[in-house]
Chain A
Amino acid sequence: MAMRITIDPITRIEGHLRIDCEVDGGKVVNSWSSGQMWRGIEVILKDRDPRDAWIFAQRICGVCTTVHAIVSVRAVENALKLKVPLNAQYIRNMIIAAHGIHDHIVHFYQLSALDWVDIVSALKADPKAAAAIAQSLSDWPLNSADEFAKVQKKVQAFVDSGQLGIFGSGYWGHPAMKLPPEVNLLAIVHYMQALDYQRRANQIVGILGSKTPHIQNLAVGGVANPINPESQSTLTLERLYKVKTLLDELGGFVQQVYLPDVAAIGALYADWTAYGAGVTTMMAVPEMPLDTRNTQFALPGGFIPAGDVGRFQAMANFSDGFFEKGVKESAKHAWYEGSGEPLHPYDGETEPKFTGFEDDAKYSWVKAPTFNGERVQVGPLANVLAMYAAGHEPTKRNLGRLLSIAAKVGGNELPLSALQSTIGRHAARAVRCAVLTETLAAQWDLLMQNIAKGDYATFNAPSFPKGEIRGFGCHEAPRGVLSHWTVIKNGKIANYQAVVPSTWNAGPRDENDALGPYEASLIGNPVADPERPLEVIRTVHSFDPCLACAIHMIDGSGEIARIKVL
């Protein structure tokens, strides 16, 4: 008999996500994804100066501040057909790359590794044997037996002191946990090192973005970083060389730790290449513009029908209409007013109408977006497959390396199609992260070469015409395609909509009742113990959900003895 499980909220993600599943015979047979999605930016931005939109847009989410800022200035620049100086493009590209690397490292180690790695088991490992496994995967200098023994001791002390909860809600001892103790220890050692290395990515964002955690250097028309190789108050050579040191160290961690770890852990969980494919039609947008008009890009993007990379359609640039015309959102199953007819974001409406959770009617605050009428999956998997299909050399090389490590560890060659799965999404994210470390270094070179030519320009002043203009910005963010859409009337914002990656992936059923990517990916997932649905969490986490509720209030209503009320 079918059994209903509700996971509310899904932990270790940003924002609030509820997942319902019907489980029958140890497998998921139906599912619903219900989310709380930020839906109010248009209210805040209406009638404001479009030049200020990004400052507010970056407050939509606590994880994705940088990406909302970037895509917002792109939307306004697109409406104005404004050129962006090369230096500004390179600086933005470096911020995008560093932010993405940070996000991917944190997602794998801090947010999802514990779905696959059992800390309690790691305590039983022989540190010498664990270090030997690590050394067989890469030359990383911190893979010594001493380091492994040290971390194991530290974790043991935590467990003994009852602080295991610090690692988040892990499913220790769950039957779906299958790694040998030594590999569990390897992952925990690198979990700790990741905490140290992810900071370097943030430091790069801080240096280039003038401030962290909210970057301050953006402007519609460029960046507000005056470049002066000599002056202390600007982007000096000294600061740029500091960025270089940090990006090299970061690249080492990603290439020698993150990518091999995902390959090895993925190979040991090869059965998970059979679950979680879901919606295989995919979309990614080109990223890292290399010219002032956004027509050439370092990273390609496009559309993959039904997971068939042979039928890849490239998206040439932001202005060819391919993306702009194809996007619509349906509110048939979302708590909004309206006829349920899908609307283009320029015409988007946001009138809340909460009716309670109804399986066959409305059950989510997230709308269901479609591209040319189809559901699509976005994210690193779509991104990597699109870059692969476009023949992007760094993607093919890093993907090849990951698959060869996986073949060595697992003893089996995995086909490209294995990526279309729960574990494959982690693999694709690691490949994307490795590509981003190379992109970051390449953009640094381009910036230095351009400055050496004597070009210090970073900003073109925008001017707003009378009448109405429209524009959209898109960005291949860590979780996939992000777009902001704006209508500007007489220099003031008349409408503003954000279609975020988690809308594409976490959306409910659409106007034709087709399942969204989260929902579709859960069908057929095994569930060994409905009381502890680790397998469902694995598949959901593989998308890196980020449903920015944008609420951060501390709840102090617990058992606090000495609150001083003034």
Chain B
Amino acid sequence: MNVLVLGVGNILLSDEGAGVRVIEALQERYDVPETVAVVDGGTCGMDLLDTLADRDHLIVVDAVHTGSPPGTVVRIDGRDIPAVFRTNATPHQLGLQEVLAKLILLERAPARVTVIGVQPACLDLGLALSEAVARRIDDILRLLIAELPGIVLRPDGRVWPTAAELIA
């Protein structure tokens, strides 16, 4: 299995960067086997073409607008993914959906895509997550770990960032 965990979002806009913050926590707390690549994709688009190519499983962690209460965690998988990427005009025209489309064209698209998302509470300027999102980081990580084979908690792994640190 060749898995990519991709955290996306803009860390300058508080909860918009939730995906990146989850990736940071994953790398800090867990030993990730070589078969799992963990990448902070930021708000990049076409730059990620190579990173995403030929993956058995792509797991995207991102802020996802579902209209649910802030902090609501969602897991979107399989046949629902194209709908997420195709039916909605995100502000990023060169975003992930564009890259995935190009990979389909090149016949190098990931075999399977899962999105793990969280409904943001705050998109204001700032590096800290809102309390509503910060306190779901552990839940998001648990959901993410369940997707990943062979991942172990680091024996000395301190819990980072703590919710208190994230909302400081």
Chain A positions within 8 Å of B, measured between CB atoms, are: 9, 11-16, 40-41, 43-44, 56, 59-63, 65, 102, 106, 110-111, 158, 163, 165-166, 168, 192, 195-196, 198-199, 202-203, 212-214, 548-566
Complex Cα distance, B8 from A163, in Å, reads 26
- With A158-B105, A202-B50 known as contacts, the answer to whether A556 contacts B12 (CB < 8 A) is no
Q: Is the CB of B84 within 8 A of A195?
A: no
Residue of A12, A558, A563, A565 touching B93 (CB-CB under 8 A)? A12
Q: Is the CB of A553 within 8 A of B16?
A: yes
Q: Is the CB of A16 within 8 A of B43?
A: no
Smallest CB–CB gap between A422 and chain B, Å? 20
Q: Is the CB of B92 within 8 A of A14?
A: yes
Smallest CB–CB gap between B15 and chain A, Å? 9
Residue of A196, A213, A555 touching B44 (CB-CB under 8 A)? A213
Which residues of chain B have C-beta atoms less than 8 A from A213's C-beta?
39, 41-42, 44, 47-48, 51
Q: Does B46 contact A (CB under 8 A)?
A: yes
Q: Does B132 contact A (CB under 8 A)?
A: no
Which residues of chain B have C-beta atoms less than 8 A from A165's C-beta?
86
Extra A-B contacts (15), CB below 8 Å, given A9-B89, A43-B125:
A13-B93, A62-B44, A65-B42, A551-B91, A552-B8, A552-B90, A552-B92, A555-B65, A555-B89, A556-B66, A556-B74, A558-B84, A559-B83, A560-B84, A564-B74
Which residues of chain A have C-beta atoms less than 8 A from B65's C-beta?
553-557
Residue of A whose beta carbon sits closest to that of B78: A562
Of A111, A552, A562, A565, most buried by chain B (CB within 10 Å of CB) is A552
Q: Is the CB of A560 within 8 A of B83?
A: yes
Q: Is the CB of A63 within 8 A of B63?
A: no
Q: Does B117 contact A (CB under 8 A)?
A: yes
Residue of B whose beta carbon sits closest to that of A563: B74
Q: Is the CB of B94 within 8 A of A14?
A: yes
Q: Is the CB of B91 within 8 A of A40?
A: no
Q: Is the CB of A553 within 8 A of B94?
A: no
- With A40-B12, A556-B76 known as contacts, the answer to whether A214 contacts B64 (CB < 8 A) is no
Residue of A62, A195, A561 touching B80 (CB-CB under 8 A)? A561
Which residues of chain A have C-beta atoms less than 8 A from B45's C-beta?
14, 62-63
Complex Cα distance, B93 from A60, in Å, reads 16
Q: Is the CB of A554 within 8 A of B84?
A: yes
Which residues of chain A have C-beta atoms less than 8 A from B34's C-beta?
none
Of A15, A43, A553, most buried by chain B (CB within 10 Å of CB) is A553
Residue of A whose beta carbon sits closest to that of B18: A553
Complex Cα distance, B126 from A559, in Å, reads 32
Which residues of chain B have C-beta atoms less than 8 A from A61's C-beta?
43
Smallest CB–CB gap between B7 and chain A, Å? 11
Complex Cα distance, B94 from A40, in Å, reads 22
- With A213-B48, A560-B84 known as contacts, the answer to whether A195 contacts B12 (CB < 8 A) is no
Which residues of chain B have C-beta atoms less than 8 A from A563's C-beta?
66, 74, 76, 80
Complex Cα distance, B90 from A557, in Å, reads 11
Which residues of chain B have C-beta atoms less than 8 A from A564's C-beta?
74-76
Smallest CB–CB gap between B76 and chain A, Å? 6
- With A59-B11, A202-B50, A565-B74 known as contacts, the answer to whether A559 contacts B42 (CB < 8 A) is no
Q: Is the CB of B47 within 8 A of A202?
A: yes
Complex Cα distance, B65 from A415, in Å, reads 52
Residue of A whose beta carbon sits closest to that of B126: A44
Interchain residue pairs with CB less than 8 A apart (26): A9-B93, A15-B92, A40-B12, A44-B126, A59-B10, A62-B95, A106-B46, A110-B46, A111-B94, A166-B101, A195-B106, A212-B47, A214-B42, A551-B90, A551-B91, A552-B10, A552-B63, A553-B62, A553-B123, A554-B62, A554-B96, A554-B117, A555-B65, A563-B76, A564-B76, A565-B66
Smallest CB–CB gap between B32 and chain A, Å? 16
Q: Does B115 contact A (CB under 8 A)?
A: yes
Which residues of chain A have C-beta atoms less than 8 A from B139's C-beta?
566
Complex Cα distance, B14 from A562, in Å, reads 28
Which residues 108-138 of B have a CB within 8 angstroms of A? Answer: 115, 117, 120, 123, 125-127
Residue of B whose beta carbon sits closest to that of A106: B46
Which residues of chain A have C-beta atoms less than 8 A from B48's C-beta?
213
Which residues of chain A have C-beta atoms less than 8 A from B123's C-beta?
551, 553
Complex Cα distance, B127 from A40, in Å, reads 12
Q: Is the CB of B74 within 8 A of A62?
A: no
Residue of A158, A198, A559, A566 touching B74 (CB-CB under 8 A)? A566
Smallest CB–CB gap between A152 and chain B, Å? 14
Residue of A whose beta carbon sits closest to that of B97: A554
- With A195-B102, A213-B42, A214-B40 known as contacts, the answer to whether A565 contacts B68 (CB < 8 A) is yes
Residue of A whose beta carbon sits closest to that of B17: A59
Smallest CB–CB gap between B105 and chain A, Å? 6
Which residues 43-63 of B have a CB within 8 angstroms of A? Answer: 43-51, 60, 62-63
Which residues 1-27 of B have a CB within 8 angstroms of A? Answer: 8-13, 16
Q: Is the CB of B74 within 8 A of A558?
A: no
Which residues of chain B have C-beta atoms less than 8 A from A549's C-beta?
91-92
- With A555-B65, A555-B88 known as contacts, the answer to whether A40 contacts B44 (CB < 8 A) is no
Smallest CB–CB gap between A105 and chain B, Å? 10
Complex Cα distance, B77 from A195, in Å, reads 27
Q: Is the CB of B92 within 8 A of A551?
A: yes
Complex Cα distance, B79 from A559, in Å, reads 12
